[in-house]
Structure 1
Amino acid sequence: MFSVLHVDSNSFYTEIVKDLIAKNSIQYLTARNIKEAFQTLENNKVDLIITGLEFTDGTGDAFILSLYKSDYKKIPIIVLSSRDDLSIKTTLFELGVIDFIPKSLFIERFIPYLNNITLLDSFHKTLQNISIAVLDDNELQIRVIKDIFESYQIKNVDYYLHPHELLSSNKQYGLYLIDFILPNISGERVIWEIRSENKYALIIGISSIDNEKIISQILMSGADDYISKPINKDIFFARLNANLRTYRLLQKLKQKNLELEEMAKLDSLTRLYNHRYIYERLEEEIQRAKRYKHDLSIIMFDIDNFKQVNDIYGHPTGDEVIVKVSSTLKNICRSTDILGRYGGEEFLILLPETGLADGIKLAERLRTQIADLTYSQESLKVTISGGVATLGNQGALELVKKVDNLLYEAKNSGRNKIVY
């Protein structure tokens, strides 16, 4: 959590600052004088200091000067004071404070800082959760980047000295930092290969050669940004922060695209695969079964007298029947079985690595359990008729035709049965 130390002897403004910071889920630490401030710094992680200028044990500018001569010199400082004097401001800015805010304008002026703090906290959390790969053939540069990441407690990073180790790792990362000058293969080629496999990754090229041609090559090869060596810690994280906003948008786009792709495969009522996709999967499973000489069986069934269900009980009840039959399929079938709604009341089940005998057993189990289902209309009972076929030398069309004929044989010979 981001932590703010507020050093002020005025209890009124202490409460104002405390309330404002607490509303933004930021840790608030307070000290009434310089001695307490250093005690707090010794015992706590502090990310920002807000200080007044008048204390019982010294002046504000002396406090700030002592901070910049101590181990806490990297902590940014904002001065909050009722003394709005230009010479004081000049002195404080020369000491290194990042802002001077009059107390009368504190709330208005401090809100942007709070917004930035929230974004920074989100940035750190994203970096700590994202998988990161660093590729650089220079061990010293690897060490520099590693030290930068570890200073922010970011340890979810894999480091590579050789391009082939990264490309052959079969790992996909959310963030790549790729040196552009590499042995045996160009950074441009590495970036291109990564981008072709992972279009939603964030890729940043790094190089000591800082000219327009190199930068344009890095960006044209598929990188999102470029960082020049030697790496400056503050600029490094600022560029990462800017690019992670794009990364988060890309991840949302990726998730949305996956959802749309899944929706295109599924029947909206049953959440089983739709006719188009189940047929595509059948073609794939036939190719796989023939290639590896595995068994493949399929079951096709439909609901007996389904038109009468709709005519007598109405379409909402018809939908209830379809949904309950689909749920029974999901509960009985294996996770490796592939389930589809082939038509209105017609279903197709693909059974990889399954022979005819086991396919018949599953079909009979489905038939008996579906016959036992109950519905909101207590008088309603539903049965199914189906066929089971196993793969020979047929293609998808011939196999579907075969099982479809078996289904109609079951229909024509009395219904509520499985034919094979």
Structure 2
Amino acid sequence: MLLLHFENDKSFSKRISDIAMQEDFSYERTDEFEQASRRISEKKFDLLVIDQDIHRILKNDFIKKLTSTGFVYPPVIIITAKDNLRIKKQCFNMGIMAYFKKDQFNSASFVRYLQTIKKERENINLIKTFKIAVIDDSRFSIEIIKTFFNTHGICNVDYYQKPSEFLKHAMEYNFFLIDLVMPEYNGDDVISYIREKNEEAIIILVTAYNNENILPHCLSVGANDFVLKPLDFKMFMARIKSCVSQYYLKKELLSKNEKLFNLATKDALTGLYNRIYFIETCQNKLKEINRTKQPLSFILLDIDHFKTVNDRYGHLKGDFVLKELSCVLNDNLRAADILCRWGGEEFIILLINTDVTSATNVAEKIRAIIAGHYFKEIGAITASFGVTQYRENDDDETIFKRTDNSLYLAKLTGRNKVISDEELKIIYNDKPTTIQWGPFFKSGNIHIDRDHHRLISISNQIIHSCFSAAESKNPADLFITLGEELKNHFKREAEILAKAGYPLYLKHKENHSLLLKNADIVLRNLKDEKITFIDAAKYLIQEIAVGHIIKSDFNYYYIFGRK
């Protein structure tokens, strides 16, 4: 930006020059009317500072020469040795920006004017970035506005005398100047139409009617501001600047809010939603279920042996796998599904309007895609999945617990598989399952844990004896052993829980009785050859031997310090 200084005092010129350069203005000085007049006609500067005999300046109509189409171009600041109120008023009537007494010159105040000019230029440059539509049935008004815009180099503007023509292209614009009273449509109709489609656009109403009823109405339906005809270009520009400033302040606020929202709800590494956002969304969805009656399902997945990836290839490669897997998951889910990084190498998915059968199919599809995906410099990885559906009286805690238990069962029965609703699968993809004993099953009571370990060990023997002719023990004998172990365990467990003061002890004991009754029925049916060994194994192991631990025993683990 260029400051032209009309000045013959070289000492004072140096002072202004230093200030100008500090504020990123280029500086030129002249003390000749002819040179100043030529530069004015060329309009190649952004601020004129006049420090000359003010009477001579006024006599030569110097300031008037800067006036065109009703507005001052460029801004003028007067610095004078004379303090004459009449002349001061005369200068301000001509449109000068500021008036300084030379012997009381305030550098800080002068700097503020320079900063205002820079801000105005920034605003002009911002306006140039908008796609502007002017809608006015008056050709004269359009020509005035066009002259104004062209003077400031604002050229990305289309002009319409007919609102109907404009409405065909209305959504191409983000800045609108609209006449209030027009044929076909009034300004408030056009404003309402625009605002329904574009909440962010700047809309300024241009009107010759200072009507105290209609103007508030137009502002209420979406106009940002209004200006009155005939246009006062200083006020016109001020209104535009104000609207543009508000527009960018709003965008900046929205951007900051979006950043804060992302910080609060997004995982920094993968860009997926985080656990906090997912829990809040889940709670909101659960509130809607009674109204919508739509099924809601959840998939929790965990990368198998992810620690090995970090240990072998380093944490940067581990991060790469997490980001790559996020993309794979996103690419294979619907837009309505909500994907979140649950923590570490775990991800959770909320499936809208999806039952557990469909969710299990989705999980199987994703499991296969992950297993077949090549991770650069890593190779193949697998993941284990837990799936469940919302049930009546569920809350987010019971849902996550059921899904988590299902995932753990997938991990403890061979990984790279899908388990739904804590239902242990003794056969998966036509292969027998081996149940791994580990912390997942431990209650914290040494006697109960010893029994559970024994039940799982016998269950594994039964599973493999059903599928292997080389298995040394007869499945029928193992079933009898399992039945005896269940009776002994249930009796011992009941005594321990009664002594520990478990509040649901009686209900738990009743459940034991029901399970033993069902086990006797299964064993009789097996003896009578009404069911196969595999059918018996599925029920006894899935529902009783291991199922009771997951679905019932986990509820009392807290009394032994297990969280």
TM-score for the superposition, normalised by structure 1: 0.70
Gaps of 5+ in 2: 286-297, 351-361, 392-398, 419-427, 430-563
One-letter code of the match for 1:385?
A
Alignment correspondent of 1:155: 155
Q: Distance in 2 between matches of 1:89 and 1:32?
A: 22
Q: Distance in 2 between matches of 1:146 and 1:21?
A: 32
One-letter code of the match for 1:61?
R
SS at match of 2:154: coil
Alignment correspondent of 1:238: 238
One-letter code of the match for 1:67?
F
Alignment correspondent of 1:340: 339
1:90 Cα offset (Å): 7.3
Q: Distance in 1 between matches of 2:363 and 2:92?
A: 83
Q: Distance in 2 between matches of 1:93 and 1:83?
A: 15
Larger deviation, residues 90-99 vs 198-207: 90-99
One-letter code of the match for 1:135?
I
Residue deviations 1:252-303, cap 9 Å, x none?
12223433554565335532234766999xx9xxxxxxxxxxxxxx997412
Q: What are the equivalent positions in structure 2 for 1:18-417 lying under 5 Å apart?
A: 18-41=17-40, 45-53=44-52, 61-62=56-57, 65-68=60-63, 70=65, 74-75=72-73, 76-84=75-83, 99-106=98-105, 107-169=107-169, 171=171, 173-260=173-260, 262=262, 266-268=266-268, 270-274=270-274, 301-304=301-304, 323-329=319-325, 340-341=339-340, 343-344=342-343, 345-347=345-347, 362-366=369-373, 369=375, 372=378, 383-386=381-384, 411=411, 413-416=413-416
SS at match of 1:189: helix
One-letter code of the match for 1:369?
F
Q: Distance in 2 between matches of 1:65 and 1:189?
A: 50
Higher RCO structure, 1 or 2 (CA under 8 Å, sep 6+): 1
The question of 1:13 aligning with 2:9 is answered no
Q: Distance in 2 between matches of 1:335 and 1:30?
A: 64
Residues matched between the structures, number: 373
Compared CA separation, residues 171 and 305, structure 1 to 2 (3 A)? same
Compared CA separation, residues 330 and 60, structure 1 to 2 (3 A)? farther
Compared CA separation, residues 136 and 187, structure 1 to 2 (3 A)? same
One-letter code of the match for 1:372?
I
Compared CA separation, residues 98 and 166, structure 1 to 2 (3 A)? closer
Residue deviations 1:155-195, cap 9 Å, x none?
12233334344444362644221222233333223222322
Q: Distance in 2 between matches of 1:91 and 1:29?
A: 26
Contact 1:135–1:178 (CA under 8 A) maintained in structure 2: yes
One-letter code of the match for 1:325?
V
Contact 1:4–1:46 (CA under 8 A) maintained in structure 2: yes
Q: Distance in 2 between matches of 1:318 and 1:145?
A: 64
Q: Distance in 2 between matches of 1:86 and 1:180?
A: 41
Contact 1:82–1:102 (CA under 8 A) maintained in structure 2: yes
Residue deviations 1:33-64, cap 9 Å, x none?
2233234445551333222326xxxx861576
One-letter code of the match for 2:340?
R
Q: Distance in 1 between matches of 2:65 and 2:200?
A: 43
SS at match of 2:339: strand
One-letter code of the match for 1:103?
K
Q: Distance in 2 between matches of 1:162 and 1:81?
A: 51
Alpha-carbon RMSD: 4.7
One-letter code of the match for 1:327?
K
Contact 2:205–2:223 (CA under 8 A) maintained in structure 1: yes
Alignment correspondent of 2:443: none
One-letter code of the match for 2:226?
Y
Compared CA separation, residues 169 and 60, structure 1 to 2 (3 A)? same
Q: Distance in 1 between matches of 2:205 and 2:211?
A: 13
Contact 2:341–2:347 (CA under 8 A) maintained in structure 1: yes
Q: Distance in 1 between matches of 2:147 and 2:66?
A: 18
Which structure dedicates a bigger proportion of its chain to helix? 2
1:95 Cα offset (Å): 7.5
Q: Distance in 2 between matches of 1:103 and 1:360?
A: 81
Compared CA separation, residues 157 and 335, structure 1 to 2 (3 A)? farther
Compared CA separation, residues 363 and 255, structure 1 to 2 (3 A)? same
Compared CA separation, residues 254 and 194, structure 1 to 2 (3 A)? farther
1:17 Cα offset (Å): 0.6
SS at match of 1:200: coil
Q: Distance in 2 between matches of 1:299 and 1:94?
A: 73
Contact 1:359–1:388 (CA under 8 A) maintained in structure 2: no
Compared CA separation, residues 130 and 162, structure 1 to 2 (3 A)? same
One-letter code of the match for 1:329?
L
SS at match of 1:51: strand
1:233 Cα offset (Å): 2.2
Gaps of 5+ in 1: 284-297, 374-381, 390-395
One-letter code of the match for 1:15?
K
Quote the sequence identity (%): 29
Q: Distance in 2 between matches of 1:95 and 1:172?
A: 39
Compared CA separation, residues 88 and 229, structure 1 to 2 (3 A)? closer
Compared CA separation, residues 413 and 8, structure 1 to 2 (3 A)? same
Compared CA separation, residues 186 and 79, structure 1 to 2 (3 A)? closer
TM-score for the superposition, normalised by structure 2: 0.54
Q: Distance in 1 between matches of 2:371 and 2:331?
A: 19
One-letter code of the match for 1:148?
F
Q: Distance in 1 between matches of 2:153 and 2:76?
A: 22
Contact 1:101–1:109 (CA under 8 A) maintained in structure 2: no
Q: Distance in 1 between matches of 2:6 and 2:82?
A: 16
